[in-house]
């Protein structure tokens, strides 16, 4: 046998061995199933835990709906939504600790009390988990980014301007009061300062006489509104600056028979406020698009987990929301929405 024939036979034997190795038994996966269609190793699904201040209220239910939309759109996100059924920072901390032990990829927290959650959030980061805040911020050393619905000034100024407009404009006068959430609620606390500043600088005849803290308790907000009406005979307006406080305060004014005499303005999803708008208890509701806030939160979580969002970034491509600006470590959703009698029925959340 000459040398050329020997070489040809050896090559054919090697080819046959390679073909047999690639065939396997019927129904068995080939090595190619461990790669993406591009030939690169398939990426694992990102497990994102979305932690609201509390479950079961329209505000956070709407945020969850937007988060689900983003998870479906991205395709590689496993979304876990859970939270306390009352505003308990301790229960939030316990959930963060559980998810840290489970080694999830991202924990997105709307903190009830930043100081209470700081330890659990920092331990999650030390374990290699990405941590972001949304709706309300935590301490800067306990998270990577904050998904911020708007600046505190934009929110605080917007509520004051809405109340003054409803009370007659720049010359509006009388007493006003604020019904907040808990004394440790970071976002509400960040708005109260700008609200008081706006009153002093632009509406000096409107006097803030009290701030009440009912927590995440709508019945207590109702009672606080009625107590304020009794305590301040010249009360012209009440700000409900949480989605729980606002409908509670509106109901308190309605039950006290003060519709049209004491106006209520604040932050809430539109659906719980439609009846109060039509009854005349409320003229204006201020809020951002809560579905978009949940959607943006998952976009941020995904980009962070994939290494596409890093410190120093100035913008983020956020799916259907387009490019969103980043100021320092705050990813900004954008302008607030204003609901009134003319447009509130166009919204359903």
330-332 vs 323-327, strand pairing mode: antiparallel
- Find where tokens 């009360």 sit: 235
Cα end-to-end span (Å), the chain: 84
253: number of Cβ within 10 Å: 28
Show pLDDT as tens, one digit a residue, over the chain (349 residues).
444 444 434 444 443 443 333 433 333 333 333 333 334 445 789 999 999 999 999 999 999 999 999 999 999 999 999 999 998 999 999 999 999 999 999 999 999 999 999 999 999 999 999 999 999 999 999 999 999 998 899 999 999 999 999 999 999 999 999 999 999 999 999 999 999 999 999 999 999 999 999 999 999 999 999 999 999 999 999 999 999 999 999 999 999 999 999 999 999 999 999 999 999 999 999 999 999 999 999 999 999 999 999 999 999 999 999 999 999 999 999 988 899 999 999 999 8
Cβ 31 vs Cβ 216: under 8 Å:
no
Distance from chain centroid for Cα 58: 13
What residue spans of 152-185 are helical by DSSP H? 152-166
Domains detected in the chain: 46-149+290-333 (3.40.50.2300), 152-287 (3.40.50.2300)
- Find where tokens 């709508």 sit: 218
**DSSP conformational letter for 289:** -
Backbone angles phi, psi at 132, to 5 degrees: -125, 155
Distance CA 54, CA 46 (A): 23
């Amino acid at each position: 046998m000459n040398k050329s024939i020997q070489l040809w036979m050896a090559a054919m034997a090697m080819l046959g061995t390679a073909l047999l190795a690639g065939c396997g038994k019927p129904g068995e996966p080939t090595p190619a199933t461990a790669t993406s269609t591009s030939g690169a190793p398939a990426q694992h699904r990102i497990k994102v835990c979305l932690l609201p201040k509390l479950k079961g209220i329209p505000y956070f239910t709407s945020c969850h709906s937007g988060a689900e939309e983003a998870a479906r759109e991205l395709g590689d996100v496993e979304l876990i939504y859970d939270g306390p059924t009352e505003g308990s920072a301790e229960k939030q901390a316990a959930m963060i600790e559980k998810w840290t032990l489970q080694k999830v990829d991202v924990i997105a927290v709307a903190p009830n009390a930043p100081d209470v959650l700081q330890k659990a959030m920092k331990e999650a980061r030390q374990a290699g988990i990405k941590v972001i805040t949304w709706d309300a911020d935590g301490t800067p050393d306990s998270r990577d980014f904050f998904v911020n619905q708007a600046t505190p000034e934009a929110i605080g100024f917007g509520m004051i301007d809405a109340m003054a407009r409803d009370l007659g404009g720049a010359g509006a006068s009388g007493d006003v009061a604020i019904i907040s959430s808990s004394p440790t609620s970071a976002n509400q606390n960040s708005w109260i300062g700008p609200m008081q500043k706006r009153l002093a600088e632009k509406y000096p005849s409107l006097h803030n006489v009290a701030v009440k803290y009912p927590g995440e308790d709508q019945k207590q907000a109702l009672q606080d509104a009625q107590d304020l009406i009794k305590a301040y005979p010249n009360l012209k307006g009440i700000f409900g600056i949480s989605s729980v406080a606002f409908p509670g305060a509106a109901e308190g004014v309605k039950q006290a028979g003060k519709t049209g005499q004491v106006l209520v303005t604040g932050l809430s999803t539109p659906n719980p406020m439609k009846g109060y708008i039509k009854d005349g208890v409320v003229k204006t509701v201020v809020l951002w698009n809560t579905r978009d806030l949940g959607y943006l939160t998952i976009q941020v979580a995904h980009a962070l987990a994939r290494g596409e969002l890093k410190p120093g970034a100035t913008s983020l491509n956020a799916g259907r929301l387009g490019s969103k600006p980043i100021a320092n470590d705050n990813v900004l959703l954008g302008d607030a929405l204003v609901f009134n009698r003319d447009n509130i029925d166009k919204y359903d959340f």
